[in-house]
Structure 1
Amino acid sequence: MPGRPRMKDVAAEAGVSVMTVSRVVNGDVGVAPRTAARVTAAVRKLGYQRDDVARQLRRRDRLSQTIGLMVDNVADPFMAAVASAAEDVARQCGSMVLIGSSGADPSREREVIAAFTARRVDGLILTPVAGGHRVLRSAQARGTKIVCVDRAAPGLDVDAVVVDNFGAVKEAVRHLIAHGHRRIGYVGDKPEIWTFGERHRGYLAALETAGVDADPALVRHGVRSGAGAAGAVTELLSAPRPPTAILAGNEVLAFGALAVLPATVAFIAFDDFALAAQLTPPVTVIAQDPVALATNAARLLFARIHGDVSAPRTVVMPTELIPRGSGEIPGPYAPYGPP
């Protein structure tokens, strides 16, 4: 085919209209996945390239001045703080934020992202659900700027702002071991969710490093609510060989666990919370900063929106283990520390 391939050439190759090609190339996720795949294949076969300089000239004054923010659950205190901080940065940049919750459900994630892109948002900040990230790949391939916050999306070349979940939990479990505990319970959400997978990995690594056998009977996965955490902890403590210490995977699970936890059982929560220092005993926590996470993510997104084409980066924010009392309750092996 002589000369540079044109959009109508792609349309002919894919067996679709020029309008459909335009929608795919310009990031409209409303196109059926199979049709979009045919167009993408035709683009690659023909070597079609957009004239991005001309496109930028056309779009310079056509930004929607909105971004989409999708979190797991906007009612979660941690995620609410993320949303508020992202909104602050967006306001400084002259943009508004559309907010949606995925509920860790891939189908709901698809719906939320489709709704955002249909409204021509300038970019997306996401806490991705578990899975292959097909919908994110599709949106990215069509030009949508994406930054992940709190959770990475393995295999997807986008910016991400996260904390060292693995290292934080490893440190916390080592802390419990140093205070004489060997049977340490873990309560978390599905390990397929990136953050909880990393936290469970840190839990196992700390036990292995200390020479403590990991007991699957001490682990409860897929716990998503306070009531679920209360039930999980009650079940753990009713076992013939109960744990002497428990780590809760986030603030919501910590509230449920604390409602049924005896004062003799050591406890550490991932995430700080307002009443942690006022409880009896005060709660030892792994503190992270949701405002810093969201602020960095939003700044990265707006840099991308305004032309940053550097390689994707992962920003790892620090956490802090704050000993307050509950994590220092001695276990059966105190004061001897790690074996």
Structure 2
Amino acid sequence: MARDPYIVRPETLPSAVPPGHEPPRLLLDFADWLEGRPWGSLGCFRLQGTLSDEAPIVDGSALRREFSLFLYLPDGSLVGFWHPDGVPTPSSPVVGLGSEGDAAVLASSLEGFLAKLARDAFSDSAWSDLAAAEEDEEDDEEEDEGNPTRAADDDARDALAEWLAGRVGSERLDALAGEVCDSTAFAARMDAWMHEREAYWAEHSILTEIGRALAAHRPPGKTPWDRTQLRAAIVGTLCEVQVYRAGPQPVPEIAEVEPLLRALRDEQHRTDPDLGLWFEAHLALDAKGCILPRFDYQTRPILGGAPAPVEQARSDLSRAPRPARWVPDWLADSRA
């Protein structure tokens, strides 16, 4: 049975790169090369640019300039460039941000990453979604000459190796494919960031006030991992706060909580003006009243059961402009 082709969205790659920079030519060319090839023949992923907001890390939106992410894996992990100094360079390594908190340097460069894909170097690692996929197929008339799935995988890797060797040379390709990368510094950076941001929000004065206002919604459990999940949406003059209890339910404390949320939103904009104003905040409230937030600056929120009015969102954008590449499509589209 033929596989569907890879999902390849090269038009999204510029938005993943910090303003003032462009995606590497090699990445754009690889996207063109990958178009139409069978999914899984080089690994299980979707090639699509995304912001660190989507990454499985605490407070990812604050790290936008430190990452340029371009692959989604099936388990929610993301792969892309890491820019330790916040500036993309030809020496930016390719890293993986795992859905279970893993943080690994996968290759010292994009060339090295593609070489490892071509040589199936991830098959025996924690990043096996980047290895060619094998499917269990029934023996039938289409398979009487062997395993066509395996052959297709081999063909794709050979074709990638040939394409990449035309750019870097066969000897360099083999050297890159066998490169061993040290993840120590990157893993330490991600671990330190997580602890730093968790401590920051636990002591944040506005979130402390919000936690007090929402005290009635604290989880009954005493274990550290018990959380009540809430959602706050603010677009222009509109505000909605819900608690997830048998589905999303409005909180009666909204009159007290709304001005605090707006103050938090404005404070964050002053801290990093380029981010603009977030539209949604997902709040995890623990038994002590501490809140760990996650902010969404890109998704069009639902308010009152309907998509947020674009004119309200544009008033936010007018008050807090962003770089063009960080304006979401639904807000930039003049037809919306």
TM-score range, shorter chain: under 0.3
TM score, norm. by length of structure 1 = 0.25
Point out the structure with max Rg over C-alpha: 1
RCO (CA 8 Å, sep 6+): is it higher in 1 or 2?
A: 1
